[in-house]
Structure 1
Amino acid sequence: MNPKARAWDLGYAAGWRLVRALPQRWAIRMFDIAADRAARDGGPHQLRRNLARVLSTVPEEVPDNLVHASLRSYARYWREAFRLPSMNPVRLAEIIESSATGLEHIHEAVERGRGAVLALPHSGNWDMAGVWLVQRVGSPTVVAERLNPESLFRRFVRFRESLGFEIVPLTGAAIPPFEQLIARLRQGRIVGLLGERDLSGTGVPVTFFGEPARMPAGPARLAIDTGAPLLPVHCWFTPEGWGFRVGTPIDTACGVQHATQALADRFAAGIAEHPADWHMLQPVWTADFTAGQLARGHARRNTPH
């Protein structure tokens, strides 16, 4: 293991052990200080570029206070992630349900025995949505990107399994992840997927905030192949808790491309309402990828499967 990877692994290990042992006010202060430092000199350039699309402006015109608020929101996500194993899941579910909307769409899907595909952007604390599912519906199945080093990946798997999630690795499993997700949906289970960032380079072309981007085909493909409803979900932070909205099912009758575009539009509406809580520090739009990255994505899309 190279020293940098080892340092990341040790850092996350320390986070889960130490942060949850701190008094709440100390933990808040520590993570806010880290966010404030990250916001110096304009904050991360890619975050600013992404927020510029949301605001229909140029990166230089994105308000510094929005970048600052976004980084504090991102820091809050990690603070809560480190503290979640010691938090009361029953109480968390009660708090989430007290302000959540659209939960009937999930209950209706489960009652019909078809399961449901929940598609979310990287907004707010999506792990909290999973905690609610575990307490009120059943264990959700989620996909995990394989991290380097392997020990860090296993650490994240153990964390989410401790919350009650079933984890399917994106790569490296004996059974392809798509087949595993299909099987869970046919059992009437819930599948949750983060859906606005294309990790494979083989995603569906969409228009997102007026510019070309690619998004994963998985959510729409799973819904079409199983008959499970495709439900867009948006999470955000409130001063005292969490916002959680489940939208009406996406129409999948016209195919993957149409459904993925509809999903992109729903994501955009939620992000526009809560831009500070969209934790996207990586490229999303086609214009932000290098020529080499675009070429590799093109090669994958044209490789026979």
Structure 2
Amino acid sequence: MTAVRDRLIDTGYAAGWLLTRALPEPLALRLFTAIALRAEHRATGKGLRRNLARLVTPDHLDDTVRAALRSYARYWAETFRLPAQDPAALRHRIHVTGVEHLDAARAAGRGVLLALTHSGNWDVAGLWLCAHAGRFTTVAERLRPESLYRRFLAYRESLGFEILPLSGSAPPGRTLLKRLRANGIVCLLADRVLTGASVPVTLFGEPARLPSGPAHLAVITGAALVPAATWFTDDGWGLRFHPALPVTDIAGTTQLLAEAFAADLAAHPADWHMPHPVWTAPR
């Protein structure tokens, strides 16, 4: 049964990739939005609601959850269509602020750690980054089935990213250290704990946990830790780089990262695609 299920999942994604590229962009977006809105009362929608309840007032929660589902649908529609798009045309639709903070971190020569949340379209942000600063390294969850992971691996490598699997092969930490010590750029999605390595923080005034990896790498390498944010605009995408955080210890640095994340999430709550638990106590 597992083998059959895996084949169905992989076939479904393969068909989605082909079909979505063939459809006009407005029609593809309407199709994904219709599918996403059906999930409002299922696990994904309920998870989004639990997390977004920390970000917005109760009278705005229903509208924000639906907007978040539409945003998530846009992410997937763009993901399936991205390999067939003109990268130069896409980059012209990305509004970037704070690039001086990224450039200053690169000029320091100790490596750059970009930490982001699952917001907006981080693949589009990666396209801009490759054009501006060259290839960067990131870590990806090893999806099941393996054939699906390979599809996403090939997709992101085609965009110019170096992808290290989180599990199933050599631990990525050694390669990340090597890249940072060579003054490379490492990008990490840092709002979901996928391993046991996490740090308690206060996020929107409530106890939560964030991965310790970004702060740990910054502490032991001296790399600049730069929070970044992505979100959707009507005609493209927003991308913001914060000033590099002061790096002290892992706990204190992760708390500073949580505060930077909070500012960006509060500004664009509906573009946060996070149905998984973040806070440690029920609301």
CA distance in 1, matches of 2:114, 2:61: 32
Range with bigger deviation, 118-127 or 21-30: 21-30
1:216 aligns with 2:211: yes
Q: Secondary structure at the match of 2:266?
A: helix
Normalised TM-score (structure 2):
0.94
Identity %: 54
Query: Which residue in the other structure is 2:258 paired with?
Result: 264
Query: Which residue in the other structure is 1:180 paired with?
Result: 175
1:198 aligns with 2:199: no
Query: Which residue in the other structure is 2:241 paired with?
Result: 246
1:80 aligns with 2:81: no
Q: Where do residues 154-173 of structure 1 align in structure 2 (5 Å cutoff)?
A: 154-173=150-169
CA distance in 2, matches of 1:227, 1:256: 12
Query: Which residue in the other structure is 1:284 paired with?
Result: 278
CA distance in 1, matches of 2:201, 2:82: 35
CA distance in 2, matches of 1:25, 1:122: 23
Range with bigger deviation, 36-45 or 64-73: 36-45
Q: Secondary structure at the match of 2:281?
A: helix
Give the aligned residue type for 2:113: V
CA RMSD, Structure 1 to Structure 2 (Å): 1.7
CA distance in 1, matches of 2:223, 2:175: 15
TM-fit CA distance, 1:185:
0.9
Query: Which residue in the other structure is 1:66 paired with?
Result: 64
Decide whether the 8 Å contact of 1:48 with 1:67 is kept in 2.
Answer: yes
TM-fit CA distance, 1:285:
1.3
Query: Which residue in the other structure is 1:303 paired with?
Result: none
CA distance in 2, matches of 1:73, 1:63: 15
Q: Secondary structure at the match of 1:157?
A: helix
CA distance in 2, matches of 1:112, 1:136: 17
TM-fit CA distance, 1:278:
0.4
TM-fit CA distance, 1:41:
8.4
Q: Secondary structure at the match of 1:204?
A: strand
TM-fit CA distance, 1:13:
1.3
TM-fit CA distance, 1:46:
1.5
1:114 aligns with 2:115: no
TM-fit CA distance, 1:204:
0.7
CA distance in 1, matches of 2:123, 2:178: 23
Count of aligned residue pairs for this structure pair: 281
Decide whether the 8 Å contact of 1:134 with 1:140 is kept in 2.
Answer: yes
Give the aligned residue type for 2:47: Q
Decide whether the 8 Å contact of 1:42 with 1:67 is kept in 2.
Answer: no
TM-fit CA distance, 1:62:
5.2
TM-fit CA distance, 1:194:
0.3
CA distance in 1, matches of 2:100, 2:80: 30
Query: Which residue in the other structure is 2:98 paired with?
Result: 102
Give the aligned residue type for 1:72: R
Give the aligned residue type for 2:201: V
Q: Secondary structure at the match of 2:53?
A: helix
Query: Which residue in the other structure is 1:300 paired with?
Result: none
CA distance in 1, matches of 2:41, 2:145: 30
Q: Determine which of 143, 146, 149 is the counterpart of 2:142.
A: 146
Decide whether the 8 Å contact of 1:212 with 1:286 is kept in 2.
Answer: yes
Normalised TM-score (structure 1):
0.87
CA distance in 1, matches of 2:90, 2:70: 21
